[in-house]
Structure 1
């Protein structure tokens, strides 16, 4: 795969120019963006995935849902439906996508969870709800410039920051690095726990933020409890297990489990992997399966896995969370 990416390097300048020109047309107002008179917050990235958008959306939901009627709007990647879909008790990963299904399972009636590849249309449909949402969180919509979010949260990982990357197909960037200038906040995700102030300062200098931009650092916090549909366990209850991942970057999770001295085999699949009948049959022979919460949304439908399938929840820990929260809350209040 890496060799193919290098062979495709001659396409990089073409991709760069096409995406740069598209952004410039929006910047100049030649291509039109729609803005809104209520809070719309976009969480996204420049790279092609794996920066932690899902836990960041969940962080924002938790922050805002007590005081506001919140809705999430996602594309619904790999779902088998079309157009606008509002999650209800009949929702599944197939109908709305695994990440929105995770939002719905976690927050249920506290928020509205919707999917629509056309974000303008999705927002208009959300505004028809009674009561209508007071805040809309756009999941993975940084490049969806037909909507002009009032506040943009841009994520980039500590291990693979956008300023060290180039555009597709050789690199992982969906658009040139200059796109970062549209962000109000840049969050460096998946940071090591021992990150010090000097390292942060060096990183911020490399980002070289605009005067209006704020840079934050965050890390992943793992739960001490494993969850199934009906029960819980701890790792102490498992002598060994099979780790199943279908996410963009499983390295931080694998590293965490290794640091705990746990015994496991790792079956690593591509992001948003559609499990085949043969793969499910192979998994059914495993004694204990531990997976991510997102993968659990796709796997829990299989009855043969019901008594052996557990997921490990995660949440985001933001350095200077009070300042970050105040920026979000101040925007919403305005």
Structure 2
């Protein structure tokens, strides 16, 4: 792996130059960005995957309860193209697992997908939302959001990474300057104030507010029709995940007798995959993530398949973080 990274280093320099020039052209107005009259919040990262965008979007949905909210995602690995607004007829395959999860959990939210964010917003404006949440759109500069939330994972800070393909950064670290705030995600619940200060110094973002969040797990595992207390689980199970960086999920649930099975992020489970899962499970319960559950529901026995819900929780100055979001939306929404 180290040898391969060294081989790819010259390509990383070229990629760095291209993304740097692209950003400069947008900053100077050579490339045009479209802005909008309503609040648009973009949630994204500098690196490739695994920073916790989905629970962060859900956090914002809960925080902005009372507003007419729309979410717009690309719909990564969906088996469809163009603009789709979720309704009862749409499937996870057509919408993508993350948007389908939003639609399943928040029926009052307008959930849409479109790789062309400009077109997606134009289509959503017909439905007159109060605020639009852009999922994974930090690098989508054809749209100028009014507020940018930049995520970086506690165990994989963008300050410790390198540009693609030598590392995992989508753009140079200086792209952080576009952020209105930074959230360090997936932190230990008891992260000390000293550790927080050290991370802020590493990120070198002195003019940007930095917050820290942790993953809060539900006390129960859920199937389509039942629930099981996590602490009361005694039997051996199959733990299954098709997400980026599933280690925290496994670490939280795994017992000595459990079996672990992983698939690629956003994996579309085939009939062969289902047979493999059932063979490994050997009639045991199958516990998976929420995102995987929406893709596996209906493919595996309903009484065998369970999922563990999660939520993001800010562990330092939650009031301050919430106030920044609510103040931005309140000052810019049509309801203000």
Category of TM-score, reference length = shorter chain: over 0.9
TM-score of the aligned structures, taking structure 2 as reference length: 0.94
Q: Which residue of 2 aligns with 1:119?
A: 117
Q: Does 1:216 align with 2:211?
A: yes
Q: What secondary structure is seen at the aligned counterpart in 2 of 1:172?
A: coil
Q: In the TM superposition, what is the alpha-carbon distance from 1:306 to its structure 2 partner?
A: 2.0
Partner deviation per Cα, 1:245-302 (whole Å, 9 max, x = no partner): 11110111122224xx463111111111122222201222422100000011111131
Give the equivalent residue in structure 2 for 1:309.
Answer: 305
- Corresponding residue of 2:268: 274
Among 319, 329, 332, the residue aligned to 1:332: 329
Give the CA deviation at 1:183: 0.2
Rounded Cα–Cα distance in structure 1 between residues aligned with 2:59 and 2:112: 18
Cα-to-partner distance string for 1:51-107 (whole Å, 9 max, x where unaligned): 000000000000102x21000000001111111100001121111100000000001
Counterpart in the other structure of 2:236: 240
Pairwise CA distance, 1:305: 2.9
- Unaligned 5+ segments in structure 2 are 332-336
Q: State how 1:197-212 maps to structure 2 within 5 Å.
A: 197-211=193-207
Q: State the distance in 1 between where 2:6 and 2:304 align.
A: 41
Q: 1:237 to 1:164 in 2, by over 3 A?
A: closer
TM-score, length basis structure 1: 0.94
Q: How many residue pairs are counted as aligned between the two chains? A: 326
Check conservation: 1:284, 1:305, Cα contact below 8 A: no
Distance 2:102 2:96 in 1: 10
Change (3 A) 1:277 1:17: same
Q: Which residue of 1 aligns with 2:221?
A: 226
Matched residue, 1:69: 68
Partner Cα distance (1:193, 1:263) in 2: 26
Q: The residue matched to 1:325 in structure 2 has which SS? A: helix
**Corresponding residue for 2:24?**
24
Secondary structure in structure 1 of the residue aligned to 2:88: coil
Map 1:105-144; keep pairs closer than 5 Å.
Answer: 105-108=104-107, 110-129=108-127, 132-144=128-140
CA–CA distance in 2 between the matches of 1:250 and 1:34? 36
Secondary structure of residue in 1 paired with 2:306: strand
Task: After TM superposition, give the deviation of residue 23 of structure 1 in Å.
Answer: 0.6
Q: SS where residue 327 of structure 1 aligns?
A: helix
User: What are the within-5 Å matches in structure 2 for residues 245-264 of structure 1?
Assistant: 245-258=241-254, 261=255, 263-264=257-258
* 8 Å contact kept, 1:41–1:150: yes
Counterpart contact for 1:238–1:288, Cα < 8 Å: no
Structure 1 SS opposite 2:106: helix
Report the CA distance shift for 1:70/1:278 in structure 2 as closer, same or farther (over 3 A): same
